[in-house]
Amino acid sequence: MMVAGLIAGCATDARNLPPDYSSIDAKKRLSVEDFDTAAIGLTCSQIDEELKILESDYAFQAQDIEGKRHQNQVAGYLGAIFILPALLATDNSAETKVKIENINRAKDQLYRLRAFKKCPSNSGI
Domain positions in the chain: 45-119
Q: Which of 27-36, 38-47, 110-119 shows the lowest mean pLDDT across its residues?
A: 27-36
Scanning the chain, the segments in alpha helix (DSSP H) are 2-10, 37-40, 44-79, 83-89, 94-117
Mean pLDDT of 81-98: 63
User: Would the pLDDT of 82 be above 70?
Assistant: no
Percentage of the chain beyond pLDDT 90 is 34
Residue 75 region by backbone torsions, left for phi larger than 0, else alpha for psi between -120 and 50, else beta: alpha
Mean local confidence (pLDDT), 86-94 = 57
pLDDT at 107: 94
Instruction: State the pLDDT confidence band at 109, using cuts at 50, 70 and 90.
Output: very high
Question: Could you give the count of Cα atoms lying within 13 Å of 43 in the half-sphere of its Cβ?
Answer: 2
DSSP state, residue 33: G
Q: What is the CA radius of gyration of the chain?
A: 20
**pLDDT at residue 86 is higher than 50:** no
Rounded to the nearest integer, the mean pLDDT of the chain is: 77
Q: What is the dihedral of CA 79, 82, 84, 89, to 10 degrees?
A: -50
pLDDT reported for residue 83: 57
More confident residue, 88 or 27: 27
